[in-house]
């Protein structure tokens, strides 16, 4: 499989974590279970989508003083050996993958994959997937019901794949050498300020 690089990717986080990412982008100790594609480092090709992720991260921060932050990253190479999984669009197989990984709630719990892919690319599920998973478990719903639910907005209108959003998830630390931390954007004073990884700043 050929993947053309470099590719600019974005990761939504909070400003207090920038120093950690500057020392290492991929650290599996901090990857959380119960997400669409399992534990991993979640990125997107959409800067706007990453900004939404960053705002949500800042809103639920523990101290309440953290600022929304978007990392800019380049995929500069591909490991010699990799195990990718690519969902070109939403599908029943995609929904089943999301459903099975969303049900894993404890870090270290057995992964539903026989061998988890080390990079996964595909659509996001609806933002209210956590509630939908709880309902699926309580009412013993199947994957067909789950698939239908995660494609709908809060008004019940079905969304197409382009409206769902995109995510590129690195599930193995072996990708560290393939990524370059270019810079980051911090939302402060009502605007996004860009900092190169040398810490020089300019408004955007």
Residue 95 lies inside a defined structural domain of this protein: yes
Domain count, the chain: 1
Domain that holds residue 130: 7-203
Residue 1 lies inside a defined structural domain of this protein: no
Residue 26 lies inside a defined structural domain of this protein: yes
Neighbours of 125 (CB within 10 A): 28
Distances (CA, A) of 106 to 32, 92, 123: 8, 25, 24
Residue 2 lies inside a defined structural domain of this protein: no
The secondary structure of residue 185, as a DSSP letter, is E
Is residue 182 within 8 A of residue 196, CB to CB? The reply is: yes
Task: Residue 124: name the closest of 97, 168, 164, 171 by CA.
Answer: 164
Spans in the chain with pLDDT lower than 50: 199-204
Residue 85 lies inside a defined structural domain of this protein: yes
Distances (CA, A) of 100 to 57, 97, 164: 24, 5, 19
- Three-point CA angle 132, 119, 52, nearest 5°: 50
At 119 the pLDDT is 95
Residue 45 lies inside a defined structural domain of this protein: yes
Residue 143 lies inside a defined structural domain of this protein: yes
């Amino acid at each position: 499989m050929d993947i053309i690089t470099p590719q600019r990717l974005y990761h939504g986080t909070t400003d207090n974590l920038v120093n950690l990412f500057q020392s290492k982008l991929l650290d599996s100790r901090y990857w959380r279970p119960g997400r669409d594609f399992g534990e991993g480092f979640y990125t997107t090709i959409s800067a706007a989508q990453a900004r939404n992720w960053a705002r949500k991260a800042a809103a639920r921060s523990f101290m309440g003083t953290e600022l929304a932050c978007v990392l800019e990253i380049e995929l500069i190479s591909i490991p010699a050996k990799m195990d990718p999984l690519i969902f070109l669009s939403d599908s029943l197989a995609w929904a089943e993958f999301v459903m099975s990984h969303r049900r894993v709630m404890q870090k270290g719990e057995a992964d539903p994959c026989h061998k988890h892919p080390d990079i996964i690319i595909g659509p996001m599920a609806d933002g209210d997937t956590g509630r939908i998973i709880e309902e699926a478990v309580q009412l013993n719903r199947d994957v067909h019901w789950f698939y239908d639910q995660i494609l709908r907005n809060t008004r019940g209108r079905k969304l197409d794949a382009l409206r769902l959003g995109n995510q590129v998830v690195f599930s193995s630390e072996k990708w560290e050498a393939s990524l370059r931390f270019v810079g980051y954007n911090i939302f402060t004073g009502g605007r996004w300020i860009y900092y190169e990884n040398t810490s020089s700043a300019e408004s955007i």
